[in-house]
Structure 1
């Protein structure tokens, strides 16, 4: 049950991070014009790795 809760929380984090990335796109594009970069990609990749690790433990009950 804890594993299911952990996997669900990781999935929610991943989906929320994707939504944040989509919503932040106009801001990121504007920031890029100013020569700045936002770490949105690394946030999404980190959340994806967390979810994949949590989902990988599904078979280890």
Structure 2
């Protein structure tokens, strides 16, 4: 039961990170033009890795 809740929480977190990345896209484009890189991809990779590890 706990693993099922953990898996559902990771899935929700993964979806939330994707949504935040999409919403922050205009900000990320403006920041990149200013020479600043937002680390959204790192967060998404970490959550995706945790989600995939939980499926095994």
TM norm structure 2: 0.95
Gaps of 5+ in 1: 57-61
Larger-Rg structure: 1
How do residues 11-50 of structure 1 correspond to structure 2 at under 5 angstroms? 11-50=11-50
Any idea what the Cα deviations from partners look like across 1:7-57, whole Å, max 9, x if unmatched?
00000110000001111110000000000000011111111001111112x
- State the number of aligned residues: 56
Q: CA RMSD in A?
A: 0.6
Structure 1 runs of 4+ off > 3 angstroms? none
